[in-house]
Amino acid sequence: MALTERSALYRRALELIPGGVNSPVRAMRAVGLDEPLFVKSGEGAYLETEDGRRLLDWVMSWGPLLFGHADPDTVEAVRQAALRGTSFGAATEAEVELAEEIVEAVPSVEKVRLVSSGTEAAMSALRLARAFTKRDRILKTAGGYHGHADALLASAGSGLATLRLQAPSAEPTTRSGEALGIPASPGVPTGAAADTIVVPYNDLDAVAEAVMRHGEGLAAIIVEPVAANMGVVPPEPGYLEMLRRLCDVSGALLVFDEVITGFRVARGGAQERYGVLPDLTVLGKILGGGLPLAAFGGRAEVMDLLAPAGPVYQAGTLAGNPLATAAGLSVLRRLSDPAVYDDLERRADLLEDGLMPFGRVQRSGALLTLFMTDKPVRNFEDAQGCDAERYGALFRHLLEQGVYLPPSQFEALFPSTAHGEEEIERTIAAVASFGH
């Protein structure tokens, strides 16, 4: 498809879809492009676009494709499931088998509920936390994204940050750095965010002070154990341990959003890698093997409050969809082999070493970001201080070289088993040709 035809396709999309895309970051305006990419197909580490380009892909559908595009085992599992039926609205054996895989892999999870999206999982986990504690307030970190549910759209990370192109935060803060609960998007009622407390990531003093002030009404602390929606920002030593202690003292539940880190930085997620266990865990992306699937799980006494076992209502017609559970089982069963993670760690380490001369690289397992700065990035404010214009120029340069990075400085690169040494070396060479 020629460029003019691609433009015609975009014009068609603009007439039918707000902004021409079904998720804002796909618009690519933050990296200086007027049109999105329209993808025709993917195989291994590569994408083919509708205008005929072949791109080396480091986005990998924003993380789910740990074994690459059109992974044969996953595709065959989905095909076999589809032959038996695409949706039943009833329980299946595959749901039970996937739940067994999750409980076996994730250290803190005793029971789990399958849903269709990370937003749904995070929203439901916090409803459950509020019911269990009989409290209303939620504490989150600035730049932490937990889906687009109303109460969580306060300083909500990469999507909004990309949309605003580094616009200063409008959220008033106290001296401790604690932000008042105000909506970060039009359409969110003020009351919906009023019980959301926002503190900087990796700031022990701020979170301790917030818990002291609000502890009696605090239902949960929700956090990405490795922040990945401001770019990759690993937890500093003692940070996750302190969150665990503060929850224990205050009676709040600790909720880890492992939609990105789950099954990626380790089979058991960041909680396995860093040795801190939450009360509830939110999972997605790799869990569905590239199909729409997410989950939340945790301690049995908390999870048993969910209907029909308990009074907390949550439901979904497509929850545990047969195609998605087939894909998830195909992926999770292969991840029981430790050699997969050894291999991913080696590949990510090679990429990290090669990119280090060109900016600040931060990594946790097979998850990393090249920040356009020479300073450490330890929170959202630091991430917003990076040179987004230079990142946009790098993105455009690499796209011309046939290498597709995330179209935002606030996102991560997602190495997969499909990225071999050839792909890593090609990427490093393309970045080097851009210059320091």
* Residues acting as catalytic residues: 145, 257, 285
Can you tell me the distance from the alpha carbon of 284 to that of 420, in angstroms, rounded to the nearest whole number? 25
Return the closest-CA partner of residue 59 out of 389, 368, 391, 356.
Answer: 368
**Cβ proximity of 45 and 423 under 8 Å:** yes
Interstrand relation of 294-298 and 403-404 (parallel, antiparallel or unpaired)? unpaired
Q: Which residues contact 150 (CB under 8 A, 6 or more apart)?
A: 183, 188, 189, 192, 193
**Angle at 225 (CA atoms; ends 219, 227), nearest 5 degrees:** 110
CB atoms within 10 A of CB 48: 15
CB atoms within 10 A of CB 351: 24
Tokens found for residue 169: 């935060």
Helix (H), strand (E), coil (C) string for 369-400: EEECCCCCCCCHHHHHCCCHHHHHHHHHHHHH
Q: Which residues contact 403 (CB under 8 A, 6 or more apart)?
A: 55, 56, 58, 426, 427, 430
Can you tell me the distance from the alpha carbon of 360 to that of 257, in angstroms, rounded to the nearest whole number? 25
CB atoms within 10 A of CB 193: 24
**Cβ proximity of 366 and 414 under 8 Å:** yes
State how far Cα 312 lies from the chain centre. Answer: 26
Instruction: Output the DSSP codes for 69-103.
Output: BT-HHHHHHHHHHHHH-S--SS--HHHHHHHHHHH
Strand residue runs (E) in 179-283: 196-199, 218-223, 253-258, 280-283
Peptide bond into 292 cis (omega under 30): no
Can you tell me the distance from the alpha carbon of 326 to that of 349, in angstroms, rounded to the nearest whole number? 31
Sign of CA dihedral 62, 420, 351, 430: negative
